[in-house]
A and B are shown apart, each in its own frame.
Chain A
Amino acid sequence: MTTPSIGTPNPAPPVPDPAPGPAAAVWNGSSTATQIRVLTGRSLRALVSDPGVLAFGLFQPVIILFVLTQVFTGMGKSAHFPAGVSYLDFVMPAVLVDNAVQSAVQSGIGVVDDLKNGMVARLRSLPIHPASLLVARSLANLVRAAIQIAVVIVLAVVVLGYSPKGGAGQLLASAGLAVFITWTLGWAFIAAATWLRRAEPMQNLSVIALIPLMFASSAYIPVSDLPEWLRVIAKVNPLTYAIDTARALALDLPGAGAAVPAVLISAGIAVVGGVFAVVGLRRPL
């Protein structure tokens, strides 16, 4: 019997085998772009077939939006609160960034799921670039975050009468920044997923990391009104830059220059996270 595939240099042409059965119609493999597209479609399809995930993800930002605006509007404003800005206007960018951060965790959870249900094991036995799965997870999650952010904004506009001074264009830019944060920060959690490989430590990590990051920032009150020690953290906290930028854009205030550190820091996180994620995924299962 001849052995057509052996010793044939890459890519092996599909040589028809006289014997029926295997090696009959072998496909020639797919490009990394195709792999990413197909796998992203798969994650998005799960989003459509299980809309509960989306609804659940909306829970926290919507609660924060409604509860915070009601509570803080009644309390009056702190000393350094920007003049002529309502609390809703002030907190809305923080809600978007908080939503972005929560969504970022979901990228990691998706990868943990794939490690658990054996999809990673299956893909590793096939001629598929393993990073395709990670990129696909992160892209699908970007779509998910964008949908969530859109829903939150629409709710704020329709129910709470949110109408920022910056106008629709700049509001869109601030939402875009939030989505960008989701995507970049997502890589930190994807990296964590490939190393931890379990959902519980991931959840713990996100709570431990995110609560201080959100509160020690300009999210809910101006940094100048934070106690001294929190102020120190807030000033090096990348989320402060992200929130300041989103706020400056939406409210048409000066300070959109914070976009530069916000984008640079989160791009840095994405690059480092991406490298660690790919290395982590290579480790034996």
Chain B
Amino acid sequence: MSGPTSPTAARTAGDIMIEADGVSRAFGSLRALDSVSLSARRGTVLGLLGHNGAGKTTLVNVLTAALPPSSGRAAVAGFDVTRAPREVRKRIGLTGQFASVDPQLSGRDNLVLLARLLGADRRSARVRADELLELFGLQGFASRRPGTYSGGLRRRLDLAASLVGHPDVIFLDEPTTGLDPSSRLNLWEIVEDLVAGGTTVLLTTQYLDEADRLADSITVLSAGAVIASGTAAELKAQVGTCTVTVTPDSAAGPAVTCAALRQAGLEPVPDRENGTVAVAVEASKDIAQVIRALDRAGIGATALSFREPSLDDVYLALAGRSAGAAS
């Protein structure tokens, strides 16, 4: 009944631990996932970036065999999620976007319960629970119920819960939302340790510094579709190596500025929220090109900054581009 979808494929492509191939998922008329393809090798971190409603959680649900895809194929640890969901579940850990712990059991008892359900005897269940409590700095809260925890503590317990069974592949859906800076750093270190030990991680996040630091490869989702993927460096290369940010004065405004820069052969991206315009340029000497274009159009700028690209620029540029294409 269960088993790898294709034994030879699983063995030869053994290093691919997460794989989606044209996965779509509709909710009524809404296409929450639109032909998504991605893959991650053993011992790497795949970062999944996207706005609210981009489809990150839906994709995690499909990959963890909680939600059947409408079409397409997905495999985790070499097992097809629709045909061998049990094999998939044996090898994964999931920290969902919303905490999943029993509020009536103490922190330790929550972990012990999961270990017992995974087949541990009483003793090794307790040993494993204590290991994880220590790893996440929860020893002091072990005998309290999660109902009395702060949001961040509950989040940490939830993360610990997903690691109980030593999973090969871990899915973390916005794992650091609600964590304070030091807990975030602590979590990053835990993820790095796990990955060094051969665990594969899929991590969704809204924090670009998080993806930049942890992810070996990044997939950007927008309205259910993959709009970009690659390493952080590759994504940065896609939007140019450097960014000039222009803050036009109120007489001009972002729209006029964009038009002027486009006329000069540049590719400006407006950031309406901040009233600025970002321009990708090849190198620092190209700032002159931007200034000349503004000067020619008679646009005054209140501020002009130059920055090496960050993932934020990539994200903004890609999301802006796809939003432009959609409208």
Contacts and interface: CB of A to CB of B under 8 A. Distances in A.
Contacts of A74: none
Given A1-B43, A3-B14, A126-B165, A42 B105 contact: yes
Main secondary structure of the interface of B (DSSP, over half): loop
B196 to A, nearest CB: 7
B98 A284 contact: no
B198 interface: yes
A7 B120 contact: no
29 contacts: A1-B15, A5-B91, A6-B4, A6-B10, A6-B11, A6-B14, A7-B7, A7-B10, A9-B3, A17-B198, A20-B197, A21-B196, A23-B166, A27-B119, A28-B119, A30-B118, A34-B117, A35-B117, A118-B100, A121-B66, A122-B100, A125-B89, A126-B117, A126-B118, A126-B165, A127-B86, A128-B117, A284-B61, A285-B66
Contact of B4 (A7, A20, A127): A7
A50 B104 contact: yes
Contacts, number: 140
A22 B167 contact: yes
Interface of B: 2-4, 7, 10-11, 14-15, 42-43, 61, 64-68, 77-78, 86-87, 89-94, 96, 98-105, 109, 113-120, 124, 161-162, 165-168, 193-194, 196-199
Contacts of A122: 94, 96, 100-101, 114, 161
A25 B163 CA distance: 12
B92 A22 contact: no
Interface residues of A, number: 43
B78 A19 contact: no
A21 B65 CA distance: 25
Contacts of B43: 1
A7 B8 CA distance: 8
Given A7-B7, A118-B100, A127-B89, A30 B116 contact: yes
Interface in A29-77: 29-30, 34-35, 38-39, 42, 45-46, 49-50
A232 interface: no
A12 B77 CA distance: 12
